[in-house]
Amino acid sequence: MGVLLGYICRDPIVWVSIHRYHHQYVDSEKDPHSPIFGFWFSHMGWLFDSGYILEKYQEHKNVDDLKKQAFYRFIKMTYTLHLFVFTALVYVFGGFTYLVWVVGVSTTLLYQCTFLVNSVCHIWGNQAWNNGDLSKNNWWVALVTFGEGWHNNHHVFEYSARYRVEWWQIDVGWYTIRFLEVVGLATNVKLPTEAHKLKKSVASLNKFK
């Protein structure tokens, strides 16, 4: 199941393309995985319709920046090989038991948590910012996804490396990025300015009136 999910989700270029289309057409008929088509569809159903994305977008034309980079082109050409080599190594070192837990169970749980952001965080939670879509902040999804559950924040500040906006919002992903920045392994880290947050706050208040 883990290998199957990895294969379905494809390489980083495809994944980034789908994510960008999601933001561009969020919660509309052109959204790749909106719950307006039902919870199951937004959670996983869209992955199993092989012609769905192709029919909507024909080609992944919104990732030319990644296509120009040799690293991502290499991953795109070899991602299936990576999956099967990793699976084979796990089996060699640990046998069938390791295969079940390290590849099957762990990868399936990882993807299920990730898919909660597409489904649950567009249905249940708190919408701190009225930005015109269905995105929600959901605290328990944030816990199991290391911060991605602050999804309404993410849709308002798409460029931000930090999901949290409030100090109390747990965001392990941001803590990791911040550590990498401190030790010099992450650069050009983008965060929303106070002016931008104030502008969005005013816009949200006006929409809620």
Model pLDDT for residues 57-106, shown as the tens digit of each residue: 767 789 999 999 999 899 888 888 888 899 999 999 999 999 999 988 98
pLDDT of residue 118: 95
pTM: 0.88
**Within 13 Å, how many C-alpha atoms sit on residue 187's CB side?**
2
Residue 45: which residues within 8 A CB-CB, separation 6 or more?
Answer: 37, 38
- Cβ-Cβ contacts under 8 Å for 193 (sequence gap 6 or more): none
Q: What pLDDT sits at residue 204?
A: 63
Structure tokens at 79: 């991602």
pLDDT in tens, 145-165: 999 999 999 999 999 999 999
- What does the H/E/C string look like for 51-77? CHHHHHHCCCCCCHHHHCCHHHHHHHH
Instruction: Tell me what percent of the residues of the chain surpass a pLDDT of 90.
Output: 61
pLDDT band for 205, please (50, 70, 90 cuts). low
- Helices 70-98, 12-24: axis angle to 10 degrees equals 110
Residue 5 has pLDDT above 90, yes or no: no
- CB–CB of 122/138 below 8 Å? no
Q: 107, 96 in Cβ contact below 8 A?
A: no
User: What is the pLDDT, as a whole number, of residue 2?
Assistant: 38
pLDDT tens profile 96-139? 999 999 988 988 898 899 999 999 999 999 999 988 999 999 99
- Which candidate, 51, 17, 21, places its Cα nearest to that of 34? 21
Is the model more confident about 200 or about 175? 175
The 3-state DSSP class for residue 78 equals helix
176-204 residue pLDDT tens: 999 999 999 999 999 999 888 888 875 66
